[in-house]
Amino acid sequence: MAGRLQDKAAIVTGGASGFGAGIVDCFAREGARVLVADLDEEGGRAKCETVAAAGGTAVFQRVDVTDATQVDAMVASCEEAFGAVDVLVANAGLGQRPCPLEETSEESFDLQFAVNVRGVFYCCKAVLPHFRRQGSGSIVITASGIALTPRPNLVVYGATKGAVLTFAKGLAMELAPEGFRVNALCPAAGDTPMLAEFMGGQESAEARERFVSGLPMGKLITPEDMGNAAVFLASDAEAGTITGCALPVDSGRCI
């Protein structure tokens, strides 16, 4: 039986770890051919091997999304490997250790905006010529629940996610006449390596319990939860008239 993204060529940034790795698995399961794009070469190659072992198709491309030249090369590699660029999942991101605004450094501000916002800008800009040549394409951006309900001590991280959410909605409006869709995922605390950063740099059972108890459904978001939501938004058959949406994947956190 054909998968829900059968033969689509997809780029998943941050695909080596966490939510991105879950999105890669679900895309491959649904028949997509996936370019795993990440700074982490070892993790990215290992992810491609697990996809191949499960019968899917994935290739790795090392990329720093804050570098426009590398992002252009990433998109060219997808075209070269798969002959198309149908879906971009702009998911690579950096978290922040909680701290009051006065203690947030300028370096941290610049780095978070570079990866979480400028990186998304470069990736979206780079896929558009391919979408135009093909006459189709869709973008899914990993924002965050914090873009919908901001939190103290994560003000700058929250601002980056608010920025990409507004970016996604604006771009959705801009591209709607051409039929290209842009949507955002808004996850709550996830069971990924980034969670330790939000716990202050170290995982602990108490901190994990605090995060879990802050979620009405009492469940952290899994990479597979994000993968399933991304498959839906990327599928023209299922979400063909859904654009500019901010989909919470959040155990009820943003109700």
CB of 170 to ligand NAD, least distance (A): 19
Tell me which of 193, 214, 218, 240 binds ligand NAD, using CB under 6 A.
193
Nearest-approach distance from CB 222 to ligand NAD, in angstroms: 10
Spatial CB neighbours of 160, under 8 Å, sequence gap ≥ 6: 93, 112, 113, 116, 117
Q: 9, 16, 140, 171: which one contacts ligand NAD (CB under 6 A)?
A: 16
User: Of the listed pieces 47-55, 85-93, 100-108, 230-238, which binds ligand NAD according to CB under 6 A?
Assistant: 85-93
**What is the CA 16 to chain-centroid distance, rounded?**
11
SS3 content of the chain, % helix, strand, coil (to 5): 50, 15, 35
* HSE-CB of 160 using CA atoms within 13 angstroms: 25
SS (H, E, C) 96-153: CCCCCHHHCCHHHHHHHHHHHHHHHHHHHHHHHHHHHHHCCCEEEEECCHHHCCCCCC
Can residue 126 be called a binding residue for ligand NAD (CB under 6 A)?
no
Interaction between residue 77 and ligand NAD (CB under 6 A)? no
Tokens of 25: 């698995």
- Residue 194 interacting with ligand NAD (CB under 6 A): yes
Q: Shortest distance, CB of residue 201 to ligand NAD, whole angstroms?
A: 13
Residue 17 within binding range of ligand NAD, rule CB under 6 A: yes
Instruction: Out of 92, 124, 140, 148, point to the residue binding ligand NAD (CB under 6 A).
Output: 92
Selected binder of ligand NAD within 4, 11, 14, 229 (CB under 6 A): 14
At which residue do the structure tokens 């507004």 appear?
166
- 157 catalytic, yes or no? yes
The reply on whether position 140 binds ligand NAD by CB under 6 A is no
For ligand NAD, the binding residue among 25, 30, 40, 225 (CB under 6 A) is 40
- Minimal distance, residue 133 CB to ligand NAD, in Å: 25
Catalytic residue among 27, 82, 122, 157: 157
Calpha distance 248→218 (Å, rounded): 15
Among 32, 26, 36, which Cα is nearest to 2's?
Answer: 32
DSSP string, 175-222: HGGGT-EEEEEEE-SBSSTHHHHHTTSS--HHHHHHHHHTSTT--PBP
Could you tell me which stretch among 2-10, 13-21, 27-35, 235-243 binds ligand NAD (CB under 6 A)? 13-21
DSSP 251: T
Candidate residues 10, 11, 19, 233; the one interacting with ligand NAD per rule CB under 6 A: 19
Catalytic positions are 157
Give me the residues that bind ligand NAD (CB under 6 A), please. 13-14, 16-20, 38-40, 43, 63-66, 91-95, 115, 119, 142, 144, 187, 189-190, 192-195, 198
